[in-house]
Chains A and B, each alone.
Chain A
Amino acid sequence: MSLAAERATDPSNPPGGSGRNLRLTALTKEFSTFTAVRSLDLEIPAGTFFALLGPSGCGKTTTLRMVAGLDLPTSGTIHLGDDEITYAKPYRRPVNTVFQNYALFPHLDIHENVAFGLRRRKVKDVDKQVQEMLELVELESQAKKKPPQMSGGQQQRVALARALINRPEVLLLDEPLGALDLKLRRGMQIEIKRIQTEVGLTFVHVTHDQEEAMTMADTIAVMNAGVIEQMGSPTELYENPRTTFVANFLGQSNLIPGTVSSADGDVVRVDMHGTQVSIPADRAHVTSGNGWVGIRPEKVLVAAEGEPLDAPGNHMSGGVVTDVSFVGVSTQYLVRMPWGQELMAFEQNTGRRAFLTAGTKVDVSWRPEFAFLLPASQDVNAGAIEEA
């Protein structure tokens, strides 16, 4: 370890606020039977809320554990700013973790759980800081309780406070909301986001819940089979996915097979079962041969045959409504197209017109700037998850 790294990881010099980027370079973790993380390159800017999103087994938790120092990489490096921490002991890195299932110390009360990190570093004024931290997570009245006496949501906040009080340069959250019920989870998402904005630390959040990642994170990296498929802001990933995995894992997508017929300037034209559709060049992630034309269900417009459609450009007729599900805020249609594929179309219940009924012949259209073109190399169902 270099001298600089030793200084950086000296626990007597409490970090926080110094704002250094976390950089993973060619990070690889091999277990005896499989490779969990495959040459991962990632730079997480200081002060951001970053989410590693992916299905279970994609390597996201392994990545987190390597940053925390709980697992050592097979190869590659981890840097905080200019200091390498790849092999630094976990108790010597300015990194703290909110563990899945919290891992609170059952023999210590809430106050002592939160004070644990400060006491190990022999910080002064521990009690006052703990008091303030418990106020931040709104648990000041529970300080004398033991963890098993608290609800899941309260334990979650204790775990957050226990990590946060150390003002780590990077706070790691390993599926922190996985054990909470849906309603509590939504509340905690907003709460954690609020706290992150308030303290301004770098948060790295590992989750398999795309909605959670989209709600909380500034930047999301979608991980699949040990590599990052795509990285960007939630809107970027949702509106312009680059692979079928991302298109399916974040929300739902209609993916229609097509062949590129021409690519000139800023528009790519695709032949899709005889219909020509155009896609902006910056949304076309393949420029020749076969691909998947993707369109989000809420961008698909449906109207009874012959009725006017307000989206010029990509227009297809001959569809038949096969299923109508009313879900309150929207109505979800399944429309069978002439080539046999069923497309999803979600329509806001604005009340502008009557619902279409199953069996109705319809025309379908979408605005070209909402479509995207994905490489055919990945399976059309990659990343699709069964709805709970």
Chain B
Amino acid sequence: MRRGRLTGYWLMLPAGLWLAVFFVIPFYSLLATSLYDPEGSVLTGYDVGYRFANFVDVLQEFWRPLLRSLTYAGIATLICLVLGYLLAYAIAFKAGRWRTLLLVLVIAPFFTSFLIRTLSWKLILADDGFIVDALQTLHLMGENDRLLATPVAVIAGLVYNFLPFMVLPLYASLEKIDGRLVEAAGDLYASPSRGFLKVTLPLSMPGVVAGTLLTFIPAAGDYINAQLLGSTNQRMVGNVIQDLFTDTGDYAAAGALSVLLMVVIVAMVMVYIRKAGTEELL
């Protein structure tokens, strides 16, 4: 019996080590960096301290990109949810023998680099690209209006890049739904739309929650889309953090902003999961 209990702990060791090396130590390092005295620099070194005022400073200075990140990520997540639900529903219930092929197509973009795919959107949305041309011909856009370097372009990029993260968990939970439940709803006087709202949608909530989290969290921290498809007016918090680390060399501010972003996202996720009523995910 005692040996059996010890075996359990031994089996936890690899996972524990993995967590320590790849999460606890880096996170501790980030946390420590966020509390450095910002008077130091990469060249002169930093004084290790407990300067909690760093958080107030970065919040005051960078609240705009932080808020913008959350807004863009929120809008992109909503659009992904609508598009992704339609797509996942179609694949799960209507695709028949095309199901596997369609799923492969959802994942297919991953075979190309994230950067290259985002760069090609730059060409697609370019001022002399066919989309802008077409919209101008239809007078839906003025002669001097642009798509590139606008929030539309950045959000479109986010939607495009994170859509598969929405579709896959949605598909997984829709596909599990027993078709007979939908039949039963119809048998019990629910029209197809009522049946969807009362049976299919509630049963797919785990997929909705997982999909929105998998989309929102990375989208809120993303900086590639804003960098390639936006301008300085669309800078997201990821761009700021990147600048602080690589260009300005202000490690303390960069660390504080990173921790702040993390805290905000975790807080939002907690509230969201509480509201969505799927605590079992935590």
Write the residues of chain A forming the contact surface with B, with a CB cutoff of 8 angstroms: 11, 68-70, 89-92, 95-97, 99, 101, 103-107, 116-117, 120-121, 162-163, 166
Is the CB of B29 closer than 8 A to any CB of chain A?
Answer: no
Measured between alpha carbons, how far is A70 from B184 in the docked complex, in Å? 9
Measured between alpha carbons, how far is A62 from B26 in the docked complex, in Å? 62
Q: Are A99 and B203 in contact (CB under 8 A)?
A: no
Q: Are A120 and B194 in contact (CB under 8 A)?
A: yes
Q: Are B202 and A166 in contact (CB under 8 A)?
A: no
Tell me how many residue pairs across A and B have CB atoms closer than 8 Å: 62
Question: B43 contacts which chain A residues (CB < 8 A)?
Answer: none
Question: A106 contacts which chain B residues (CB < 8 A)?
Answer: 181, 203
Q: Are A90 and B181 in contact (CB under 8 A)?
A: no
Measured between alpha carbons, how far is A95 from B198 in the docked complex, in Å? 20
Measured between alpha carbons, how far is A68 from B181 in the docked complex, in Å? 14
Q: Are A116 and B183 in contact (CB under 8 A)?
A: no
Q: Are A105 and B184 in contact (CB under 8 A)?
A: yes
Q: Are B190 and A120 in contact (CB under 8 A)?
A: yes
Q: Determine the residue in chain A with the shortest Cβ distance to B187.
A: A97
Q: Determine the residue in chain B with the shortest Cβ distance to A68.
A: B187
Q: Are A99 and B190 in contact (CB under 8 A)?
A: no
Measured between alpha carbons, how far is A89 from B186 in the docked complex, in Å? 8
| Closest Cβ–Cβ distance, residue B199 to chain A (whole Å) | 6
Shortest 5 CB-CB distances between A and B: which pairs? A117-B188, A120-B189, A103-B184, A103-B180, A90-B186
Tally of B interface residues using CB under 8 Å: 18
Given contacts A91-B187, A92-B189, could you give 12 more A-B pairs where the C-beta distance is less than 8 Å?
A: A91-B188, A91-B195, A97-B187, A99-B180, A103-B181, A106-B203, A107-B199, A116-B190, A117-B188, A120-B188, A121-B189, A163-B187
**In the complex where A103-B178, A107-B203 touch, is A97 in contact with B189 (Cβ < 8 A)?**
no
Is the CB of B79 closer than 8 A to any CB of chain A?
Answer: no
List residues of B (170-208) whose CB comes within 8 Å of A's CBs.
178, 180-181, 183-191, 194-195, 198-199, 202-203
Question: B217-230: contact bitstring with A at CB < 8 Å (1 yes, 0 no)?
Answer: 00000000000000
| Closest Cβ–Cβ distance, residue B93 to chain A (whole Å) | 15
| Closest Cβ–Cβ distance, residue B7 to chain A (whole Å) | 32
| Closest Cβ–Cβ distance, residue A71 to chain B (whole Å) | 10
Q: Are B187 and A70 in contact (CB under 8 A)?
A: yes
Measured between alpha carbons, how far is A96 from B184 in the docked complex, in Å? 9
Measured between alpha carbons, how far is A5 from B140 in the docked complex, in Å? 50
Question: A96 contacts which chain B residues (CB < 8 A)?
Answer: 187-188
Residue in contact with B189 in the complex, picked from A11, A99, A104, CB distance below 8 Å:
A11
Measured between alpha carbons, how far is A360 from B181 in the docked complex, in Å? 60
Residue in contact with A166 in the complex, picked from B185, B188, B194, B198, CB distance below 8 Å:
B188
Q: Are A91 and B189 in contact (CB under 8 A)?
A: yes
Q: Determine the residue in chain A with the shortest Cβ distance to B178.
A: A103
Measured between alpha carbons, how far is A116 from B191 in the docked complex, in Å? 12
Write the residues of chain B forming the contact surface with A, with a CB cutoff of 8 angstroms: 178, 180-181, 183-191, 194-195, 198-199, 202-203
Measured between alpha carbons, how far is A121 from B191 in the docked complex, in Å? 10
Q: Are B183 and A103 in contact (CB under 8 A)?
A: yes
Question: B198 contacts which chain A residues (CB < 8 A)?
Answer: 116, 120
Question: A104 contacts which chain B residues (CB < 8 A)?
Answer: 184
Q: Determine the residue in chain A with the shortest Cβ distance to B189.
A: A120
Measured between alpha carbons, how far is A212 from B129 in the docked complex, in Å? 72
Q: Are B184 and A97 in contact (CB under 8 A)?
A: yes
Q: Determine the residue in chain A with the shortest Cβ distance to B181.
A: A103
Question: A120 contacts which chain B residues (CB < 8 A)?
Answer: 188-190, 194, 198
| Closest Cβ–Cβ distance, residue A276 to chain B (whole Å) | 57
| Closest Cβ–Cβ distance, residue B192 to chain A (whole Å) | 8
**In the complex where A105-B199, A106-B203 touch, is A91 in contact with B180 (Cβ < 8 A)?**
no
Q: Are B187 and A90 in contact (CB under 8 A)?
A: yes
List 16 A–B pairs whose Cβ atoms lie within 8 Å, in order of A's numbering.
A70-B186, A70-B187, A90-B186, A91-B186, A96-B187, A103-B178, A103-B180, A105-B181, A105-B185, A105-B199, A106-B203, A107-B199, A116-B185, A120-B189, A120-B194, A163-B187
Measured between alpha carbons, how far is A84 from B212 in the docked complex, in Å? 47
| Closest Cβ–Cβ distance, residue A166 to chain B (whole Å) | 7
| Closest Cβ–Cβ distance, residue B225 to chain A (whole Å) | 36
Q: Determine the residue in chain A with the shortest Cβ distance to B194.
A: A120
Question: A90 contacts which chain B residues (CB < 8 A)?
Answer: 183, 186-187
Measured between alpha carbons, how far is A381 from B199 in the docked complex, in Å? 46
Residue in contact with A162 in the complex, picked from B188, B199, B203, CB distance below 8 Å:
B188
Measured between alpha carbons, how far is A101 from B181 in the docked complex, in Å? 11
Give the interface centre of B187, B198, B202 by most chain A CB atoms within 10 Å.
Answer: B187
Q: Determine the residue in chain A with the shortest Cβ distance to B179.
A: A103
Measured between alpha carbons, how far is A11 from B190 in the docked complex, in Å? 10
| Closest Cβ–Cβ distance, residue B60 to chain A (whole Å) | 45
Q: Are A91 and B191 in contact (CB under 8 A)?
A: yes
Question: A92 contacts which chain B residues (CB < 8 A)?
Answer: 189
Measured between alpha carbons, how far is A62 from B189 in the docked complex, in Å? 20
Q: Determine the residue in chain A with the shortest Cβ distance to B201.
A: A107
Question: A101 contacts which chain B residues (CB < 8 A)?
Answer: 180
| Closest Cβ–Cβ distance, residue A92 to chain B (whole Å) | 8
Measured between alpha carbons, how far is A124 from B185 in the docked complex, in Å? 19
Measured between alpha carbons, how far is A106 from B203 in the docked complex, in Å? 8
Residue in contact with B188 in the complex, picked from A69, A70, A89, A116, CB distance below 8 Å:
A116
Q: Determine the residue in chain B with the shortest Cβ distance to A93.
A: B187
Q: Determine the residue in chain B with the shortest Cβ distance to A115.
A: B188
Question: B185 contacts which chain A residues (CB < 8 A)?
Answer: 105, 116
Q: Determine the residue in chain A with the shortest Cβ distance to B188.
A: A117
Q: Are A99 and B188 in contact (CB under 8 A)?
A: no
Question: A95 contacts which chain B residues (CB < 8 A)?
Answer: 187
Q: Determine the residue in chain B with the shortest Cβ distance to A94.
A: B189
Question: A97 contacts which chain B residues (CB < 8 A)?
Answer: 184, 187
Question: B183 contacts which chain A residues (CB < 8 A)?
Answer: 70, 90, 99, 103
